[in-house]
Amino acid sequence: MLKPLLAAMLVLSVLSLAGMAGAQPTEETSMTGNEAFTFDFYAQIKADQGNLFFSPHSILSAFWLAYLGADGDTAAQMAEALHLPTDRDNAALPDIGASAGEDFVLRSANALWAQETYPWRPDYVAQLEALGAPIRLVDYLAAPEAVRQQINQWVEETTEDKIQDLIPEGAIDQRTRLTIANAVYFKATWLNQFLEALTQDAPFTLLDGSSVTVPMMSMSEGVSLKVFQGDGFVAVALPYVGAADMLILLPDAGQFESFESALTAQQYRDILTAMQPTNAQVSMPRFTFETFLSLGTPLEALGMSAAFDPDQADFGRMYDRGSSGENLYITAALHKAFVDVNEQGTEAAAATGVVFGALSAPMPGLMIRVDRPFLFAIRETQTDTILFMGRVVNP
């Protein structure tokens, strides 16, 4: 029987970036830009206490639309920090292969709210429309609060009310000229469901060694799952109905911090490659929570500082700076994500807002018990793109 887990990682990637140049694995690394950004970004936020959950797909989708309007050093910094392609003319938005059914729902949407009568460049507007990201003309000068509520309502509708109040009061004012938003929603049923009759209270060991009682879900019997037993950890993929699964990484007891600190995008990719079908039975906690992140600090730490600087920001490809008499820069970058994991499956949603302002039965062969802190996410099995990533230290 496997040692109880101290850390696990689930990678929820239900998105296809196949249409996005530069997002495909390279020969040298076999790693996508989505994966590289995911782990770079996670390294910046993992010092936060408690559970974590975020959507790299949502963040990249929103900033991709901002990147299309960036120029000079601002564009160069964004490309490097976000692992975006330098060829912006021939690349498309991430395509997650939207699907809707009884057992599998996946959708992602983008929208922009731009100040009316502002000198937006026609080429930028046309590029957005070609990507299916329409611009809605609004009046921040006359009614900034009404625009904020309109944006939040769009996010709520797109995420089945799972993401509410993405843009807080004060984040949009009369200096705002543009807001870019992405919203993604995912709901899928387990291919091998946990039986509710088998769910019972059980201890979950916290990082400090103490324990809390949580509802622990269990499979009724062993099933064929992709598993890799590495040096000091075990990885197991739990498939959903549809082209998606949850990858859980279970380090040995007492090794959460060291495992989390050492994990890289390339190691993640190597683990995926090494997994093999194995007869296994899994128990894990039922949990639900949400995370709110301000993206400015971690993105600046990754080298993307110019976009947030009112003096250095250069978004000259999206508007005519000369006729506007203003310099646009990112005044707020906000992200909220929600996840609910239960016996039937998983429901997850996330949204990103980028605000621009102007100056001016048989016995299993392996028993895996997820009863201590773990990292998690979900991945689309045909493209291996990371959509959500998170951490649970107290369910």
- The whole-number pLDDT of residue 333 equals 98
List all residues 6 or more positions away from 322 whose beta carbon is below 8 Å from its beta carbon.
none
Give the position of tokens 């950004």.
Answer: 37
* Residue 68, burial from CB neighbour count under 10 angstroms (0-12, 13-18, 19+): buried
Per DSSP, what are the bridge partners of residue 99? 106
- The whole-number pLDDT of residue 377 equals 79
All structural domains of the chain: 16-189+289-358 (3.30.497.10), 199-287+363-392 (2.30.39.10)
| C-alpha torsion angle, residues 54, 353, 160, 348 (rounded to 10) | -10
* Residue 261, burial from CB neighbour count under 10 angstroms (0-12, 13-18, 19+): exposed
- The whole-number pLDDT of residue 20 equals 29
- The whole-number pLDDT of residue 19 equals 27
H or E stretch covering 128: helix 122-130
List all residues 6 or more positions away from 100 whose beta carbon is below 8 Å from its beta carbon.
106, 107
This prediction has a pTM of 0.89
**Nearest one of 255, 273, 277, 279 to 362, comparing CA atoms:** 279
DSSP string computed for 239-269? EBSSS-EEEEEEEPTT-HHHHHHH--HHHHH
- The whole-number pLDDT of residue 365 equals 67
Beta strands in the chain (DSSP E): 11-12, 52-54, 99-100, 104-115, 135-138, 176-189, 200-205, 211-218, 223-230, 233-239, 245-251, 276-285, 287-294, 328-341, 345-358, 366-369, 374-379, 386-392
Distance CA 133, CA 127 (A): 9
The tokens of 112 are what? Answer: 């922009």
**Nearest one of 212, 84, 155 to 336, comparing CA atoms:** 155
**Nearest one of 316, 337, 338 to 328, comparing CA atoms:** 316
- The whole-number pLDDT of residue 5 equals 30
Q: What is the pLDDT of residues 303-352, one digit of tens each?
A: 999 999 999 999 999 999 988 999 999 999 999 999 999 999 999 999 99
Burial 15-43 (b: 16+ CB within 10 A, else e): bbbeebbbbeeeeeeebbbbbbbbbbbbb
Low-confidence ranges of the chain (pLDDT < 70): 1-31, 91-100, 360-365, 382
Distance CA 381, CA 361 (A): 26
